[in-house]
Amino acid sequence: MKNIRETVIELCNKSDFDVYMAMLDRDISAHRLDKAKQEEIVKKSMAVANDCYQELITKYGELTPIKYAIKLQVPVIYVNDKPTKYYAYLGLFEEKNQTITLNLETMKLIKELVFQYNLVDLVDVGSLKSAVTAHELFHYFELVNPNLYTNQKIIDAKIFGIFKTKSQLLVAGEVAAMHFAKLLTRLKHTPLVYDKIFALGKKQIV
């Protein structure tokens, strides 16, 4: 069995495309899709992230995620909600108030785990807050741009197992948000590393 460092190295060495394909494969709604459809969803979601990124830098220049939030008048709230085995989060975007909430306690735990498992040379802990802010900022873009690909009903579904319809695939938005965060922070590794480290160390939470 791989230890945490080996797992993180493997994830850091994966291409963005492979990371996102794995995200789809783990999703209950997406894993049943054939590979060609999964690849299409990943490519289009990455393209959406790139378009939003280009829109920001064209309009405002190169800024930090928090400064983009200020420019877009999206409030960022900091909380200290202690993570538990059953409930934990890094950041949230609340559609009703169009507000980003960042959980400093979970970020603190991830940073502690990075040092505990000797991952400092692999993981950019200094960009954690920026990456989470950028991720949630993409969900703001989804809210104010309903025509984005990630908002569309892109997979076949059935109501009561009978009536054919189309359904939104939420993981497409997560792929785009992840890629948007990487572009905005210029991380060398996928932002998913932060989530992976937290998941691997979560058993320590009492």
For position 152, what pLDDT does the model report? 84
User: How confident is the model at residue 155, as a pLDDT?
Assistant: 60
Q: 40 Cβ partners below 8 Å, 6+ apart?
A: none
Q: State residue 144's pLDDT score.
A: 95
Residue 168's pLDDT is: 58
Which pLDDT belongs to residue 158? Answer: 39
154 conformational bin, left if phi > 0, alpha if psi -120 to 50, beta if neither: alpha
Given a cut of 70, the residues of the chain with pLDDT beneath it are 1, 153-168, 203-206
Q: What is the secondary structure of 90-129 as a DSSP string? A: SEEEETTTTEEEEEHHHHHHHHHHHHHTT-TTT--GGGHH
Q: Distance (Å, rounded) from C-alpha 149 to C-alpha 197?
A: 30
Give the residue extent of every domain in the chain: 4-204
Q: What was the pLDDT predicted at 46?
A: 98
Distance (Å, rounded) from C-alpha 4 to C-alpha 127?
20
- The per-residue pLDDT for range 36-88, each reduced to its tens digit, is 989 999 999 999 999 999 999 999 999 999 999 999 999 999 999 988 777 78
d(CA 76, CA 99): 6
Question: What local confidence, expressed as pLDDT, does residue 32 receive?
Answer: 78
pTM comes to 0.90
* pLDDT reported for residue 114: 94
Q: Rounded to an integer, what is the distance from CA 14 to the centroid of its chain? A: 16
